[in-house]
Amino acid sequence: MRAIVLIVVFAASWAGAALAHGGESHDSGATWTFDPLVLAPLLVAGLSYALGAQALRRRRRAGGAARAWQAVLFGAGWVTLAGALVSPLHWLGEHLFTFHMIEHEIVMAVSAPLLIVARPIGTMLWSLPRNARVAAGRMLRHRSMVNAWEWLSAGGNATVLHGIAIWAWHAPALFDAAVTNVAMHRLQHLSFLLTAMLFWWSVLYRSNPGAAAWHLFVTMMHTSILGALMALAPKVLYQAQTATAAEWGLTPLQDQQLAGLIMWVPAGTVYAGAAMALTVIWIRKSGDIRRRSDAVGAL
């Protein structure tokens, strides 16, 4: 725990040096972004997982291979998330809509599913002292928490909430406000990440494969429509986000069109691929159930 506190203090010490979207000079080229309110949670989450995984290794010997894969997946999710929010990609996203869209798609379609597949909460709890771990477990099992989670993670609810976050933040007024206001941008990224993790949890663990494939298909469709609207719009919709496009050899409209294409095609491909995989699983399970039913009927 002392290590976690030291990490938080260290991250906070960067506040005066570099804040995301606030008061930094952009003349020196692409730079790393050290926003303490982004960096501190990333470091705490990574350290908590590492300490929890170490504690579990000391206590258990069985299931080591499964935990190793979970650690790999968590590491990949953590690295991609940190890369999207802290690396020069974030700086570039401040100047070009195209890179900003890449950043968002990494958060929602790459980092979020990797973190969810890793199922890190249980491991992270083991980084806490015993009393705190027991208290946290009791809180998570409390009826109100369980009921709230059951509602939020229901397939339809999670899909709708994630869709609302995507469409609301891509309204031109809100998107431009997020570009020019630090607090709004943090809130935008947080809502994208949390609703995406909720959505992928629902898809992978709450819904049956057929329903999960349907939710992925719906998400692919509405995000593709949103991307197409941006790519095919005859005028610039995002004035603040595309204001510096000319410095990069693009017109504001071209920058917006490229961003729309990224949401339309590559991001849609991720959802489509996951939907197809779950459809195959659903068909195989249905076939196995039918064969067992036929075998029982033949007795």
Q: What is the pLDDT along the chain (299 residues), one digit of tens a residue?
A: 433 333 333 333 333 333 334 334 344 567 898 899 999 999 999 999 999 999 888 876 655 666 889 999 999 999 999 999 999 999 999 999 999 999 999 999 999 999 999 999 999 999 999 999 999 989 999 999 999 999 999 999 999 999 999 999 999 999 999 999 999 999 999 999 999 999 999 999 999 999 999 999 999 999 999 999 999 999 999 999 999 999 999 999 999 999 999 999 998 999 999 999 999 998 887 755 555 554 445 45
* pLDDT value of position 161: 97
2: exposed, middle or buried (C-beta count within 10 Å: 0-12, 13-18, 19+)? exposed
Would you say residue 240 lies in a domain? yes
pTM over 0.75: yes
Would you say residue 21 lies in a domain? yes
Angle at 38 between CA 34 and CA 40, to 5 degrees: 90
Would you say residue 298 lies in a domain? no
DSSP category for residue 60: -
> CA 188 to CA 170: how far, in whole Å?
10
Which letter, b or e, does each residue of 61-76 get, where b requires 16 or more Cβ atoms within 10 Å of its Cβ?
eeeeeebeebbebbeb
Would you say residue 270 lies in a domain? yes
Would you say residue 293 lies in a domain? no
Which letter, b or e, does each residue of 121-157 get, where b requires 16 or more Cβ atoms within 10 Å of its Cβ?
eebbbbbbeeeebeeeeeeeeeeeeeeeeeeebebeb
Would you say residue 48 lies in a domain? yes
DSSP category for residue 22: B
Closest by CA position to 33, among listed 82, 77, 90, 75: 90
Would you say residue 295 lies in a domain? no
* pLDDT value of position 30: 77
* pLDDT value of position 289: 55
Would you say residue 187 lies in a domain? yes
Which domain does 143 fall in, by range? 2-287
> CA 162 to CA 174: how far, in whole Å?
16
Residue 94 near residue 54 (C-beta atoms within 8 A): no
DSSP category for residue 170: T
Give the Å distances, CA to CA, from 133 to 123, 124, 284: 11, 9, 40
* pLDDT value of position 49: 95
How many separate domains does the chain show?
Answer: 1
* pLDDT value of position 58: 81
CA 83 to chain centre: 12
Tokens of 264: 């339309």
CA 111 to chain centre: 5
